Structure 1
Amino acid sequence: MARRFALTFPGEPGGHAKQDVVVVEPTGATGPGGHPVYADASGIVRAEISDRGEVRMLATGGHQTPRTPMHAEPLPPSGD
């Protein structure tokens, strides 16, 4: 399992906005599906990622509706 992932999100619907890429690292927690939970440096973007690269976004606050990334790219550990 990768130690970090780059999650690629689509741009805003109805426009030609560029895609957003967020790097997430393991938190040590396990999500509702039993897979590791990853988060960005701010802790706002949280995702459960399976060993097959399936992503389940996890809300971090009330009334949040997280978008699902189009792609999850495994990255080498930071510092490599």
Structure 2
Amino acid sequence: MTGDDCFELHFATALRPVTATESVVVRRTEATGPGGHPIYTDETGIVRAEISDRCEVRMMQTSARQELRRPVACRRPMVQIVRQRSSTAA
């Protein structure tokens, strides 16, 4: 797995304080979105997003009645960052 294979998307929660978020990990697929950037999806296939190399996110509908929520943050998973740093140090 390379550094471009997954992201964490963080969403604000309605049931908790304003600072609380829920996160989901999305992995790169073979598809590209309307902006020409890779499409990432979670393991269920419900969360689907086009993510640019600058972490700009465009959420994609996966069903007709889905109400898309905009993520409040997009970042690389921490484990992946540590692996990247250790592989460049070697």
Give your verdict on TM over 0.5.
yes
Matched letter for residue 71 of structure 1: A
For structure 2, the residue ranges without an aligned partner over 5 or more in a row are 84-90
> Residues 26-68 of structure 1, C-alpha deviation per residue, up to 9 Å, x if partnerless?
1110011110000000000000000111000001000212101
Percent of paired sites with the same residue:
45
Match of 2:53 in 1: 51
Paired positions, count: 77
Higher strand content, 1 or 2: 1
- Counterpart mapping for 1:24-35 below 5 A: 24-35=26-37
Larger helix fraction of residues: 2
Residues 3-33 of structure 1: CA deviation (Å, up to 9, x unaligned): 11000000117x5374110000011100111
Structure 1 residue aligned with 2:64: 62
Task: Note the aligned Cα RMSD (angstroms).
Answer: 2.0
Consecutive unaligned residues of structure 1, counting only runs of 5 or more, are: none
Alignment counterpart, residue 19 of structure 1, candidates 14, 18, 21: 21
> Which structure's CA Rg is the greater one?
2
Match of 1:39 among 12, 32, 41: 41
Q: Partners in 2 of 1:40 and 1:59 — Cα distance?
A: 13
TM-score in terms of structure 1 length = 0.85
Q: Secondary structure at 2:67's aligned position in 1?
A: coil
* Aligned structure 1 segments of 4 or more residues deviating by more than 3 angstroms: none
If asked which structure has higher relative contact order (CA below 8 Å, sep 6+), I would say 1
